Structure formats: C-alpha cells, structure tokens
C-alpha cells in the first residue's frame, strides 16, 4: 500500500525525509518530470501543502530495455578479440544498397517514459489519443514554469520515433509536429486527441468546429440534481473576464455585441443526464453524464454552477466540498473520424472510482473493446433556452403574411403565396383524413390550407398573440383546427397524440434553439413512416451579417451574392418589426446545412428530399433589372427538407 502522510507538511519536507540521500535539485526534477503523485495526480509544485492521510507515491524512472541488470554477470575479462573482417574483395557485393546508407544501421526507436497518470490509448502517423491526469495543463501559448501535456508528448514523439533520414547534403527532415486540437481544464482529467500531421490537424479542427465529434463527460456535482435518468439543458452566453474567470449571461438578458468585438459573449449549450445520486461524509452528490453542444472555456463548470450544483472540488465556481481533492470532472468518451482512413474511432476512459462511490454507484467494469453507443440526447427543460417567441409583434406579423383582413392581398407575403406554401404542400402531399402536426404554426397560414383539403391539423405556437390570430382566422375552417400555446422543444408537455401522419415546421427552425430537442420532439410524435417537412431561409446564401448582394461593374455588370461566413454556427439579434421599433428584437440562429442533416438523421429519420427554391420577385425597370432577375433565379432564397421516420 502506498505510504500515507502522517502530519501536515510541505511536499518538499516530505521528500527530504523520505529520500534522505537526495539533493534539492533531484527532488525538484522528480516533480518536473511527473514522478511524484499526490492522491493519484501529479504534484504541481515542490512546495505543495500536504495533509494527514494524503497518499504520496514516488515513481522511479523505468530503466531502458538494454540497461544491464543488477544481477547480471560481469563480462569476462579474457574475452577473445573479435575476428578480423574479410578483405573487401572477398565480401559479396550489395548493389541494391544506396551508397549514402552503407556502413550505417537503421536506428531503432528509443523507449519513451511518460509521467505517472499520462496514458497513450492510440498513436499512429497522424494523431495521438491520450489520457490526461488532473493537475496537468494541456498546453500553454506562453512559457510556463511547469511542463504541460503538450511538452510531455513532444518529448515522447521525439524519443520514440525513428529519426528521418537525411537525403543528400541538406538538413535532416523535420519530424511530426504536434497540434493542439482541443483542451481540458488543468484540474480536469480524461481524453484528448493531438494531431501529428497537417492533414490530421485540419481534419480534426474541422470536425470539432462542425460538431461531428462525439464527446461525453462525467461530472460529480454537489447536491441532488434529480432522479436517475432525469435530463436537462443549460443555455446561456459565456464571457471571459480579464482575470480568466468565465461568467454566464442569461440569453434573455444579453443584448449582443458590436461587430468585431473579440470579447463578445458566446452562446453555450450543455445537456446532462443523471446517472445516480448518493452521499459521502454527510454531503449529497450527483453523478451526471454531460454532453456539449458548444465547447466554451469552463462551460460545464459554469453551467452546472448556474443550476445551483457546482462540480465537487470546483472552488472557483462555488463548490463547498472537495471529496476527491481535485475538480471532479472527467472526459470519459471521445469519438471522431480518422483523417486518413475515414474510420470511425471511439475511445473511453473510466472516471476515478470515488466519482461513483460518492453517487452511490458501483464502479463500472473495464470499457469494452467495441465502440460504446452515444448517450441519449437530453430534451430541453422549460425555460432553459432563449426566448424567441414573436409575441411582441404578433399583430404586425399576422398582417405581413395574411393582409389586414382575408381580402387584403396587397399586405400578404408574396414569398409565402408564390413559393413557400405551394412547395410545402407538394412535399407534404396531403390527403383528406390525414393527421398533420404544424409546429411553430404562427397564425395558421399553412394549417388553414391543409384543413381546406380535409386534413386534421394540430398547430403549436409559442406566441399567444399568434395563436389568438390563428383561432380567429380559422373560425370558418371546413375542417376544425386545434391550436396550442406551447414550446416546440417540449411537445410532450402538451400530451399530444404520437401517431401524426406528417409534421411541418415552416420558416421557424432558425428561431428555435437548441435545435435537437425540437427535432426529436417532432420525431417522437410521428408514426413510423410519418413525414416531416421543414422550410427555412437558405443556410448558405441567407446568413444574417454574413451574406449580401454585390455588383461587379466589369464586363457589362454582374450581380453576385457575397458570402463571408457559412460553416461557423452563430446567433444574431434581429429586428422583429423592420422599419418600425428597432428595440423589439429576437434571436436568429445560423447553422450550416450539415447540422440540420445530422440532427434529423440522429433523431431517427431519413432525408428523402432536399430542394432549393429561388424567390419569384422580379425587377421590371432600371439598367440592372435583367441582371438582378438572373441572380434571383440562380441563387436560392429558401431550403426545403423532407424526412421520413424510420
């Protein structure tokens, strides 16, 4: 059993007593190279304080494989001299051996020595996957006193690879260069991937940026969060203060930032699931499985503290207990696509056993060799996300789409009449007797078209004002329409039937966030084989603050669509009543097309149609009219998706 500290003292004092023949410099080197652990984590400093009961382990360097053993017999002093070499003319010729390589043996890789707690799970020519212990910094852009995990891996790569061969008289080619793909907080532990080639760096960075990476964390929090398998979502804007601490701003309080503001708060979304709850030392704890929709600094720590359940050991964000003498946060699963082979890789790392004991759970068995299944997505609890209802401008929006009354065609939307409604109806293929769920139905413009065809429609809308307008305009509908005020992300709260033949969400997905709970909620209410149709502003050509029309006067003039950004998701505050009160705003959320496709498929549906629709407006006068009309026909205004529930 490892020795335990019997009294309060510094690590320096303990090592001086335990290693009486060592020098201060040698003891400092043990710390530097991670040879000393305190309660399982590498010691951070020679002056680190110790308490009675702490476990300190000293890990001596592993001798090289070719080092002589202490019990090995000494070489005989009368060993005969080696036999003389034969003359060159007697040696068989080796014509296939390059001249530059003659007389030089291939150098075998040297064994690398990793500090305690650092474990490599996978390594190849393109990347390296490693377990980081708590207390070790991932990397630092500026020089720091302590070695980082990046420093350790650089030494490992240099010592374990075969040096590249020099060709000719030029310099020796450079070896692989490690790239930092993502990070873990110093006091957290778990899985990280680093790139070793340029192609891996670009590919992995893109996978993280487009959210195609599978990541799960385990967090031991203070207090009881909820019953087992309870789920939830925390969403806010996070902003880093000058001192490094991150603060959370509720979505309904954040007013946005100016363009180019590097310090602007960023949207962060965290999903969690309760694995178990228990107590330790009279203190209640909950073990959570956490999944990130975004990857901001300290995101999990700040969001769980927001819910009143800080991570155990996280003094910075309000924790009062420290059962593991560390931040109880562990990156347990990591999955991605290999940049070179295209193979899906999945790695797992068990959390420390005290995480489970504190939550009243037995430690899990060793991870299986096969890839574990992703955790079920967490639905959104009410009130956790941004308020994006159009209730403040319900009357104006109703008039915009429908006209001041049903006979006022001049105020209606030509986009709806000429493009959106005909296309949506074609994709839905409605027939009399069908049951259709109209999500974010607004004032019921699609619902009434469907009801006129004998379809039984249920509409759900977050704005009470728009639902009131829908009921008023639907009073004379030949087929009764049912309307509910409700959240598209939590349709289960409305106790709706789960056997709809079809569902539609028209021009609303970009105002719903998070997206996944809404799509999953829709899928849950469709029968097998049910159809889902979504129409939205084109995510590539109609991005707020990222796309615009431009005019190139050369060659007779050409109108084009400028795109300054597409793949990076973003959120933008937009005016709800253009041309009137600019203070009435809401959020719109940009996502690349792949996000919509991935989300729909992950919720159990197959996409069967994708269509891009241009607008039908035309310019009738002016020198640019013909070119403007050509550009409108070529560059789509809307995107439509149709999916079928498996």
Helix (H) or strand (E) holding 301: helix 299-306
The residue whose two tokens read 């060159």 is 88
Please give the Cα distance from 561 to 459 (Å, whole number): 36
Whether cis (ω within 30° of 0) applies to the bond prior to 477 is: no
Parallel, antiparallel or unpaired: strands 585-590 and 605-613: unpaired
Please give the Cα distance from 342 to 285 (Å, whole number): 40
Please give the Cα distance from 123 to 336 (Å, whole number): 14
DSSP 564: S
Number of other residues whose CB lies within 10 A of the CB of residue 205: 15
28 CB-near residues (< 8 Å, 6+ apart): 46
Asked if 439 and 460 touch (Cβ cutoff 8 Å), the reply is yes
Structure tokens of 23? 């020098």
Helix (H) or strand (E) holding 334: strand 329-337
The helix/strand/coil state of 519 is helix
The residue whose two tokens read 């070489």 is 75
* Angle CA 380–382–383, to nearest 5: 110
Q: Choosing from 54, 126, 185, 398, which is the catalytic residue? A: 185
* Angle CA 539–299–585, to nearest 5: 45
The closest of 350, 221, 200 to 287, measured between CA atoms, is 221
Question: HEC states along 24-57?
Answer: HHHHHHHHHCCCEEECCEECCCCCCEECCCCEEE
Q: Classify residue 168 as exposed, middle or buried by CB count within 10 Å of its CB (0-12, 13-18, 19+).
A: exposed
The residue whose two tokens read 């030029």 is 170
Please give the Cα distance from 502 to 523 (Å, whole number): 10
Parallel, antiparallel or unpaired: strands 526-537 and 500-506: parallel
Structure tokens of 592? 């690349």
Number of other residues whose CB lies within 10 A of the CB of residue 629: 15
487 classed as catalytic = no
* Angle CA 460–533–491, to nearest 5: 30
218 CB-near residues (< 8 Å, 6+ apart): 275, 287, 288, 289, 290, 329, 330, 332, 351, 355
Please give the Cα distance from 448 to 436 (Å, whole number): 12
553 CB-near residues (< 8 Å, 6+ apart): none
Asked if 316 and 276 touch (Cβ cutoff 8 Å), the reply is no
The closest of 607, 592, 597, 591 to 645, measured between CA atoms, is 607
Kindly give the interhelix angle for 394-402 and 464-473, rounded to the nearest 10 degrees.
Answer: 40
Please give the Cα distance from 528 to 604 (Å, whole number): 10
Structure tokens of 106? 């291939």
Active site residues per annotation:
185
């Amino acid at each position: 059993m490892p020795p335990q500290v019997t009294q309060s003292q510094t690590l320096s004092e303990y090592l001086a007593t335990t290693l009486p023949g060592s020098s201060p410099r040698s003891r400092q080197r043990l710390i530097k190279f991670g040879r000393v652990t305190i309660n399982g984590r590498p010691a951070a400093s020679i002056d680190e304080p110790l308490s009675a009961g702490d476990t300190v382990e000293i890990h001596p360097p592993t001798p090289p494989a070719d080092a002589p053993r202490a019990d090995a017999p000494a070489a005989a002093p009368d060993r005969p001299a080696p036999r003389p070499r034969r003359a060159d003319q007697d040696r068989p010729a080796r014509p296939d051996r390059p001249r530059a390589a003659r007389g030089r043996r291939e150098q075998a890789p040297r064994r690398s020595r990793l500090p305690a707690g650092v474990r490599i799970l996978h390594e190849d020519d393109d990347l390296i996957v490693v377990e980081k212990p708590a207390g070790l910094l991932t990397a630092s852009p500026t020089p720091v006193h302590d070695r980082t995990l990046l420093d350790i891996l650089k030494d490992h790569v240099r010592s374990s690879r075969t040096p590249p061969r020099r060709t000719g008289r030029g310099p020796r080619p450079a070896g692989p260069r490690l790239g930092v793909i993502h990070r873990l907080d110093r006091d957290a532990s778990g899985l990280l991937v680093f790139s070793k080639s340029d192609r891996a760096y670009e590919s992995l960075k893109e996978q993280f940026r487009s959210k195609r990476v599978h990541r799960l964390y385990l967090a031991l929090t203070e207090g009881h969060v909820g019953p087992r398998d309870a789920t939830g979502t925390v969403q806010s804007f996070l902003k880093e203060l000058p001192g490094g601490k991150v603060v959370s701003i509720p979505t309904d309080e954040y007013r946005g930032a100016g363009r180019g503001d590097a310090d602007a708060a960023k949207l962060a979304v965290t999903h969690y699931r309760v694995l178990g709850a228990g107590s330790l030392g009279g203190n209640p704890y909950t073990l959570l499985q956490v999944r990130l929709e975004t990857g901001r600094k300290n995101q999990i720590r700040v969001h769980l503290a927001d819910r009143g359940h800080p991570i155990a050991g996280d003094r910075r964000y309000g924790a009062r207990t420290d059962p593991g003498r560390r931040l109880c946060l562990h990156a347990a699963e990591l999955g991605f696509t290999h940049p070179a082979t295209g193979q899906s890789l999945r790695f797992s790392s068990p959390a420390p056993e005290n995480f489970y004991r504190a939550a009243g759970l037995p430690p899990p068995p060793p991870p299986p060799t096969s890839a574990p299944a992703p955790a079920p997505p967490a639905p959104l609890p009410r009130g956790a996300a941004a308020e994006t209802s159009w209730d403040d401008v319900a009357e104006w929006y109703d008039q915009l789409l429908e006209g001041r009354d049903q006979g006022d065609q001049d105020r209606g939307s030509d986009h709806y009449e000429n493009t959106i409604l005909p296309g949506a109806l074609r994709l839905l293929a409605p027939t009399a007797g069908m049951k259709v769920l109209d999500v974010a139905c607004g004032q019921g413009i699609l619902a009434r078209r469907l009801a006129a065809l004998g379809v039984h429609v249920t509409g759900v809308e977050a704005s009470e004002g728009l639902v009131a307008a829908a009921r008023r305009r639907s009073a004379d509908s030949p087929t009764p329409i049912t309307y509910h005020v409700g959240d598209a992300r939590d349709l289960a709260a409305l106790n709706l039937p789960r056997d709809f033949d079809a569902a539609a969400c028209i021009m609303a997905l970009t105002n719903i966030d998070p997206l996944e709970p809404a799509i999953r909620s829709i899928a849950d209410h469709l029968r097998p084989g049910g159809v889902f149709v979504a129409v939205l502003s084109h995510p590539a050509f109609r991005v707020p603050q990222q796309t615009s029309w431009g005019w190139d006067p050369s060659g007779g003039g050409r109108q084009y669509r400028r795109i300054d950004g597409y793949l990076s998701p973003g959120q933008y505050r937009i005016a709800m009543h253009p041309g009137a009160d600019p203070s009435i705003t809401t959020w719109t959320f940009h996502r690349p097309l792949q996000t919509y496709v991935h989300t729909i498929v992950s919720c159990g549906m197959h996409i069967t149609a994708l269509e891009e629709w241009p607008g039908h407006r035309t310019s009738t006068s002016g020198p640019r009219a013909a070119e403007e009309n050509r550009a409108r026909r070529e560059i789509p205004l809307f995107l439509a998706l149709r999916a079928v529930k498996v």
